[in-house]
Amino acid sequence: MNDFSGQVAVVTGGAQGIGGAVADRLRAGGARIAVWDLDAALAEEKAASLGGGSFAARVDVADWASVQAAAQETLTRAGRIDIVVNAAGIAGSNAPVEDYAVDEFARIVAINLNGTFHVNKAVVPAMKARGYGRIVNVASVAGKEGNPNASAYSASKAGVIGFTKSLGKELAGEDIAVNCVTPAAARTRIFDQMSQEHIDYMLSKIPRGRFLELDEAAAMIVWLCSTENSFTTGATFDLSGGRATY
């Protein structure tokens, strides 16, 4: 168990799913958690269950003003931001490119890619001021390989990988690590946005023959948030169960 005593961790999408599992593990290590989520009621419930001074903020990561306000609220309430795990995201609908709704494509990119930019941009100044930080952006194996009938999701997650590599290099001279993970599918509420055909397709591509467990994702992500991860930055860590070949 890594020791996060005295540290403050922001977890976007932290009310449930991978973000929720990460919040649990960081809290178990002693961190105080700021649960940033679009679902305010669920975020409040999660923060209450975490305890230890954890608190919730309703955040729409696609809205820069909303992210700015949450970052300021977090700094006012907790005085610092040491860790950020950016797990907020959506899958969107499944359709071939010629049938894909233009507005839907833009919405997915706004949340998954622009949202990642907004959250990272908002927290970097506070980390630089303290000379320390750990950021983990949750991408997807779809960002490496591209899933058919999921062009918006695949493109947005590929963008998260490229963005992470860029920011990691920008901050390489600081004790601020910026990495991302590329999970295969896990059984979360994001499945509600997908067709059964697409879910079956994703499972068929995983050599381990099963979906990712939330605790498995959290274990890798939380190590990337620790002081032990003192050298690696701008990197992509695979969580695809053998699917990805690079």
Domain map (residue ranges) of the chain: 8-239
Q: Which pLDDT score is estimated for 202?
A: 78
Q: Which pLDDT score is estimated for 37?
A: 98
Q: Which pLDDT score is estimated for 193?
A: 64
Q: Are strands 32-37 and 55-58 parallel, antiparallel or unpaired?
A: parallel
Q: Which pLDDT score is estimated for 182?
A: 95
201 as an active site residue: the answer is no
Q: Which pLDDT score is estimated for 23?
A: 98
On the CB side of 141, CA atoms within 13 Å amount to: 20
Q: Which of 77, 153, 162, 79 is nearest to 120 (CA)?
A: 162
How many CB atoms lie under 10 A from the CB of residue 230? 10
The Cα–Cα gap between 151 and 155 comes to 6
Out of 132, 153, 201, 246, the active site residue is: 153
DSSP-assigned beta bridge partners for residue 177: 134
Q: How far is CA 107 from the centre of its chain?
A: 17
Q: Which pLDDT score is estimated for 243?
A: 85
CATH architecture of 8-239: 3-Layer(aba) Sandwich (3.40)
Residues of the chain under the 50 pLDDT cut: none
